[in-house]
């Protein structure tokens, strides 16, 4: 008869006294115990056989061209990861000429972010041949109307999903020039609530004079029709009236990271790096 050591769960003094209890006695008290011991005690030769079977199955899959590391399996894995991982979003805001696009270009060169511009996505969709949404966008622009925010957000959402499916490591996004107003923000919250995490707002702040001077200089080579002295004051006023309240709202939530954008590109980017290194 096999004896096993058993310790009473009582006082410390009692716990130090070992009591030998015959296994047969335990089996008598608990009739199912022998069966339970059999279930949890799997012989090593059976475990080895199971491992060999798995390895053999993997080898068979490989010979059949269905190796787990095949392109299809990797694609399935990417899709599963992209469904589990929420996009991590940084809104990039600032007045015209604040340097948002320039700094976004430097960020993606040095950090694992994808740059999305709402305006660029709308223009690309409008130019895409056979796109019903593109025709709708063109009609709104032709009539001088604002494109519905739902279209803009749908394009942003689609761009993020496609990026994450291609590379599961690409889940951080810089969204440039959005949200511009309260309608944009409400639309984002309505469509993307629970589907993306807004980490913070990167706000490039500079004076109106600096914005105007930069835009006028840019207009000499950019060909942008709105980089002129007549339209710039209106653009700045629109930013102050529509976009600045959005920044102030996020400020109350502790989500705004402000950078003095009146300095040189490299000086501004030094501050940007400090923020991104801290935020992770």
Burial class (CB in 10 A: 0-12, 13-18, 19+), 254: exposed
CA–CA dist 269, 103 (Å, integer):
7
119 marked among binding-site residues: no
User: Is position 80 annotated in a ligand binding site?
Assistant: no
Annotated binding-site residue? 257: no
The answer to whether the annotation marks 263 as part of a ligand binding site is yes
134 marked as binding residue: no
Q: How far is 96 from 183, CA to CA, in rounded Å?
A: 20
Q: Please indicate if the annotation marks 166 as binding a ligand.
A: no
Q: Is 142 annotated as a binding residue?
A: no
Residue 180 is labelled as binding a ligand = yes
| C-alpha span between 252 and 108 (Å, rounded) | 28
Q: How far is CA 257 from each of CA 40, 184, 260, rounded to the nearest angstrom?
A: 56, 20, 10
Per DSSP, the three-state class of 86 is: coil
3-state secondary structure of 187: helix
Say whether 170 counts as a known binding-site residue. Answer: no
7 assigned binding-site residue = no
Residue 74 marked ligand-binding: no
Is 50 flagged in the annotation as binding?
Answer: no
Write out 9-76 in H/E/C secondary structure: CCCHHHHCCEEEEEHHHHHHHCCCHHHHHHHHCCCHHHHHHHHHHHHHHHHHHHHCCCCCCCHHHHHH
Pairing between β-strand 114-117 and β-strand 172-176 as defined by DSSP bridges: parallel
| Residue 184 annotated as binding site | yes
Ligand-binding annotation for 52, yes or no, is: no
* 145 is an annotated ligand-binding site residue: yes
Residue 38 sits at φ, ψ, to 5 deg, of -65, -40
Query: Using CA atoms, how far apart are residues 215 and 241, in angstroms rounded to an integer?
Result: 19
- Residue 280 assigned to a binding site: no
Binding annotation: 97-102, 123, 145-147, 177-180, 184, 218, 224, 235, 263
Binding annotation for a ribonucleoside 5'-phosphate: 123, 145-147, 177-180, 224, 235
Binding annotation for ATP: 97-102, 218, 263
């Amino acid at each position: 008869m096999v004896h096993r050591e058993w310790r009473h769960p009582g006082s410390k003094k009692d716990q130090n006294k070992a009591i030998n209890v015959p296994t047969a006695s335990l089996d008598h008290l608990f009739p199912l115990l022998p069966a339970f011991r059999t279930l949890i005690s799997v012989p090593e030769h059976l475990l080895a056989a199971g491992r060999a079977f798995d390895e053999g199955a993997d080898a068979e899959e490989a010979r059949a061209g269905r190796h787990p590391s095949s392109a299809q399996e990797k694609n399935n894995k990417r899709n599963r990861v992209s469904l589990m991982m929420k996009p991590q979003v940084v809104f990039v805001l600032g007045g015209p000429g604040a340097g948002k696009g320039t700094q976004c270009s430097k960020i993606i060169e040095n950090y694992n972010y994808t740059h999305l511009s709402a305006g660029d996505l709308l223009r690309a969709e409008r130019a895409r041949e056979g796109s019903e949404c593109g025709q709708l966008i063109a009609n709104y622009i032709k009539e001088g109307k604002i494109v519905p925010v739902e279209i803009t957000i749908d394009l942003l959402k689609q761009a993020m999903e496609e990026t994450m499916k291609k590379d599961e490591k690409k889940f951080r996004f810089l969204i440039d020039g959005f949200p511009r107003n309260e309608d944009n923000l409400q639309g984002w919250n309505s469509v993307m609530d629970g589907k993306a995490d807004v980490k913070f707002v990167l706000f490039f702040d500079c004076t109106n004079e600096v914005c105007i001077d930069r835009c006028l200089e840019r207009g000499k080579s950019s060909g942008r029709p709105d980089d002129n002295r007549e339209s710039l004051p209106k653009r700045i006023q629109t930013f102050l009236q529509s976009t600045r309240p959005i920044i102030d709202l996020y400020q109350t939530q502790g989500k705004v990271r402000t950078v003095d954008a009146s300095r040189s590109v490299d000086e501004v980017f030094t501050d940007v790096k400090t923020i991104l290194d801290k935020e992770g």
